[in-house]
Amino acid sequence: MTQDEFLDAHDVDFRYIEGPAYVGVPLEPGVDIWGVRRKTATVRTRYGYEVYSEVDVSPLNSLSIEEIERYSGWPDPDDFDYTVVRAQAEEVRRRGRVVVFMGDRLNRVAQLKPAMYLRGVEGILTDLAASPGIAKVIFDRIVSFYKEYLLRILDAADGLIDIVLTGDDFGRQRGLLISPAMWDDYLAPGFSAYIEIIRGFNAKSMHHTCGDVRLLAARMHEIGLDILQSLQPEAMDDAHRDLKNDLGKTMSFHGGISIQRTLPHGDARDIDEEVRERVRTLGPEGGYFLCTAHNIQADCPYRNIAALFDAYAAHGAYRPTAPTAPTG
């Protein structure tokens, strides 16, 4: 069974297209388009091994503002072939599914995460408090690239992209990575620019952020975000209820099923109850996309993945509320 056949069998609507092809100067092994060098890390779990890449060298770490401005590793939108995008979108539309552009984990329309990769987590967070000029230069360069990159992707798709998923982690397991005031000053302008571009092509905007972002949700909503993802339950507690009540008439939600607790450590009954609760809370009048809060990890037993899809099938169909029968 192919991946598409598996998704069709479980009535999964979203299909993530690959997007433009990199055609610039060949990159060194382990180096991304920003010049960030990564190394492979392997974690052993009960069910096998999880392999991922982690930052090894942040090229802007310890550089001065002048050196950052002269940095030769800034990516160029011209380094990509956008002509491949339309065919990717057409194939998804042909299958009757929803076209989503997200990019890969190392090149997703964002701001804070690429800044963390380039400068280091501690470095960019320190800059925000102590060296705002450096932070501004870095964010300006990142946003400038992604605005043009996103414009070209959407233009090449010629209206066939339904959803653009941007991704930037703003929260921790408890609280935010930066204050709401700092978010307003440094990140809101770029966030708004991305959404304006997406809206200009009649696509919907979806933003992925891990962590506790309840203090930013209303801000993102006011800017015009259509769909908030991922509603990480361990970080957000029961905030999804308040988000639905406060914002749910004009904002949709995606995610909310625990990959930290329920999927790896629960059983079929726990999974079924969690899916039912999310549908019960977030589903009324539509506006909820059933999904896990992040990728299913290697510590999740296969039986729980099967139970998750069973629960989706049992509780995930949208059923409009039946009209009340007249009395008397």
Domains and CATH numbers, the chain: 3-26+61-230 (3.20.20.210)
Q: Nearest Cα to 225, choosing from 250, 200, 244?
A: 250
Report, as an integer, the average pLDDT of 71-84.
Answer: 98
State the residue for tokens 């180096």.
31
CA torsion 176-181-187-193 (nearest 10°) is: 130
Tell me: the pLDDT tens digits for 7-57?
999 999 999 999 999 999 999 999 999 999 999 999 888 888 888 899 999
Question: Which pTM was predicted?
Answer: 0.94
Q: How far apart are CA 298 and CA 319, in angstroms?
A: 33
Tell me: the pLDDT tens digits for 271-295?
999 999 999 999 999 999 999 999 9
State the residue for tokens 């006011």.
222
